[in-house]
Structure 1
Amino acid sequence: MKKVIAAFASVLMLASVLVAVQLAGPTSSQERADALSGSSFQAGNIISDANFYDGDSMSASQVQSFLNGQVGSCTNSGCLRNGRYSLNSHGADAMCGALTGGSSLSAADIITRVGRACSISPKVILVTLQKEQALVTSRGPSAAVLERAMGYACPDNAQGRCDPAYAGVGNQVYWAAWQWKRYGNPSGTSNYFTWFAPGGTRQIQYNVPTSCGTKGVAVQNKATAALYYYTPYTPNTAALNNLYGTGDGCSAYGNRNFWRMYSDWFGSPTASAKPIGALDAVVGGGDVVTVRGWTIDPTAPGSSSSVHVYVDSAAKKVVADQTRSDVGRAHPGAGSAHGYSADVPAAPGSHKVCVYAVSVDGARNTTLGCKTVTVVSASPFGRVDSAQAVPGGIRVRGWAIDADQQKPAISVRVVAGGKTTTLRADKVRSDVGRVYPAAGSGHGFDAVVPGVDGTQDVTVTGVNTGKGIDKQLGATASVRVPAARPDGGLDTFTGTATGITVSGWAIDGKTTNPIDVHVYIDGAGRRLVANQTRSDIGRIFPAYGAAHGFSLTATAAPGPHQVCVYGIDSAGGSNPTFRCDTVQVGNAPRGGLDAVTATSGGVAVRGWAWDADTTAVVPVDVYVDGRGARLQANGLRADVAKAYPAAGRNRGFSGTVAAASGKHDVCVYAIDANGGANTTLGCRTVTVP
């Protein structure tokens, strides 16, 4: 089998130069890069190994986006932008890793799957699809063109015929990539491909006729050799002089077009895989370091990459997406969106600043430069000592000084609950004056600013008066402001076996004093004073103290009771309802459902029920499909008396409820003696014969 492959490979060496001749001119959707010149073509270094064998150079979404950009719309289903194609699955071998295929894959999926499996750049595959059959820019390729998509197994000496075993987009892409890897004689294969091997000067023909002559080419890498094995001709001077057109009768265009198209679409095929760029300026300012420059990732020139700015050990990521027309003119294939500028915060003093260009995939970087700069303190600084809710709003206390104009008092801007208040930091703070004698003591602030009910963020910013920028003083504080009317909460609101328990807290935002709470039970009111210690409330509202708790335990007869709790306004305003609801006093019935059995003509149930609030027999309601029947729990149950001595022995129930033949839902309830919630003893589904 290896001999067959080797023999066939020697035929494949003569790839489709004649097709390439037909594609010598630029396609309609391809931008012409005027800066590209045939004099830059290096016959011995057409593309670097790093770029050729980078199987992860593009993701499927990036390939799809690229195809979308080349063709606005398609005229048939074969167009690479939106066509669907088959790809066979392949096991791993010396050339490619294992590959999972499919019967309806996009061109982007096929290109990237093959690229990853065979370590061939999707960019190389895209360029080859274009140079061989103009498929990237074709709006409606024919079936014949799709069959020979990469020109694989379509040698020039076969009069345009291709081996049908390798026909189709999926086959063509895979086997072309496989063959490119085979040209490198990987471990596990024979050392067959040697005539264009890198490291020596190789005589390469200009075209098929030997009369056109050859050129001595010093092949420098495996990728360039692979291109010559695939298309074994080098462009002559005439072809290079008319880079976007035709040369003379001995001109061949395949490798020229590969180099030209790759350069136009993706940048220089021989460029370093690392990003390029410049650091135009590093300037130390007031509390900031300003950096400016540009960067391009040659492996993804159309995408905006980033730079990492290090000020000493602190890093900041900056996206290089600003318009730089000068960069666009110098690198037309990349566009202009590659500039960056940023202000990086820095403390006053001397700092070493280094800027690194980072590739789009984050895997590679280039040092653009380092510089030591001095940063001055030109912005306000200070401290917020406290921010807490008080009657009338939020009290904020602290101090602020402008670094480059220390003597004059400055303003501070307080934002609380979306409302902005400006204060003058001119109050005497002798402690501040002792620490900063040059500034003096007149830099304090202490005022009540408006707030809104509820929890809100409070930020205090020193307003800059000279060089520098406004500076937030300290961290943002979270302050809860009580409503300007009674506010509170209930921790307990429940009935017990003998009564009702209510507890909670209450506060009125207008005063720090305890307020009254009224509790009404069935219309009868009781006055409480919310003055019990609640340390949790004291922590939330430190200016109001902790004396805002209340509690009540009242005796009440078994049964339902209406209970309402009100906070009493300290200024005689409206009294909000904390809660008004029904509370059940007493015990709920207990019981058990032992059996639900289908019998002839009905459903038999058996169990027990007891209500600790009464000595009377507990009624038990049995519902069959929503229709109820009542039983009495008065049967002998010694086991119940043993478990609950207070219940006595006569707490069992049993009976049969009529039901027609068929499936029925049965639910059984113990009825509360006080009119409270009934206890569900259980539900079953039975089928009556």
Structure 2
Amino acid sequence: MQVLGAARQLAWYGNPEGSHTSIQVGQLSARPYHPNGACASSNVLIENRATAALYYYTPYQPNAAALNNLGGTGDTCSSYGNRNFWVHYNNWFGSPQASAAPVGNFDAISATAGRVTVRGWAFDYDTQNSIAIHAYSGSTMVGGWIANGARSDVKALYPSQGLLTGFNQTFAMSPGSRQICLHAINNGAGSNTALGCKTVTVPSTAPLGWFDAATATSTGVSVRGWALDPTTAASSSVHVYVDGAFSAGFAANQVRSDVGSMYPALGARHGFTSSIALNAGRHSVCAYALNVSGPQSKSLGCKTVTVAGQAAAVARGNLDSVTATATGANLVGWAFDTSTTASTDVHVYADGRFLSGFAASGTRTDVGAVYPNQGDQHGFSQSVNLSPGNHSVCAFALTASGSGSTALGCRSVNVTTPTPRGFLDSVQGAVGGAQLRGWSLDPTTAASTDVHVYVDGRFSAGFSANIARSDVGNAFPGLGANHGFDSLISLTPGAHRVCVFGLSATGSSSVDLGCVTVTTP
């Protein structure tokens, strides 16, 4: 009965011969906001019979205060009949003007070092699920995510949609001026919706900082400043070079409230104050800020200081030689701290990266003869592991306190992959096969290695060279004696070409031990 009554009422409102003719379709109609005439009115375009019937039934339109609080009350001039009809209809059926394509907005864009953040919202009337957003810089897709953040403001405007329609997404982007375009990805009927493009300048990821001061002390220099990596709040490192040579490295992790105020997202622990021992005299002191990860660095500048008074303790020494070995290189040299007779440490860098550290505590009578006040326990002969190939190996002598260092020199060394060694002593025909004798080893290990045998060009047998051979042990004293073999392989009667190969411990390389033609009875 209610539906029939509504249909009759709608027909009555639309009867041109009836009493409801004041609101005409296609014309403007002054619709009041409230029964109180002081609340004024505004013109509404009556687009169809349904709109005309709505205003016959409820003649008042909602004012801005009512529209701004769709779920509550407005002000003293607010009326709610037509507004509530719109709210209930949209909640039940969705917007009658909705497109099949997604709806949304690209609200804002911002950038930090190497990062871009975009904010907005999007939904698709075809689904209550959160939809995908794709970001492009030019023709390159640079990000994709789901718009599933809570947006109560969007929910208020579109009550039929869920709450989770927002996004606030950060992604990596190379420095420079970048135009970012966002697209809401369609679900079901329709097509993707372009949410628009915005341009932002992405700051560089290079380190930032400042060399505040270099002050001479009685033992050297005190340096002060700050440095940070703009991509992280973690403390970065600072390297100091004196007179062109690396002198010290330390973390910039002291509190600098002024830096924290300039870069609030990165915190305040980016200051540094450090003392470096120097000889008396005039010195050029240069500081460099390093990124927390990656190869980037930035010069913070150079300052000149003059150190007066007694010379500070410094490290001295020499890198005599760097010789390639089967597994890397062997370094020979000497180092000491002028302030003590105790042994000091040596640090080794390969290709610019720290590799090893050890004490220079070996006997060097030649050094003791030249520096009698220092003693002779300052030599080193140290092996380090290196991958095959060319390497630049540098050694630094540290002071006893570890606060300073002296470059001992750099050498280039070519580490080659050692090949297995061995010898095929004999191949003798026997009933049913051949007896093979010899030895094989991998010069990088004392472990026994394998031997492979090929007969007439085909693999025939494999066994371990693990029999004691004192002659081999004498020739290779560091590798032991268990590298011999004395094995019988099966052969058919007749003449055969037998070839023997010694394998490396990893099996990645081999050596030809020889081939012999043998006749099996």
TM-score > 0.5, shorter chain as reference: no
| Band of TM-score, shorter chain | 0.3 to 0.5
Please state which structure has a larger fraction of its residues in helix. Answer: 1
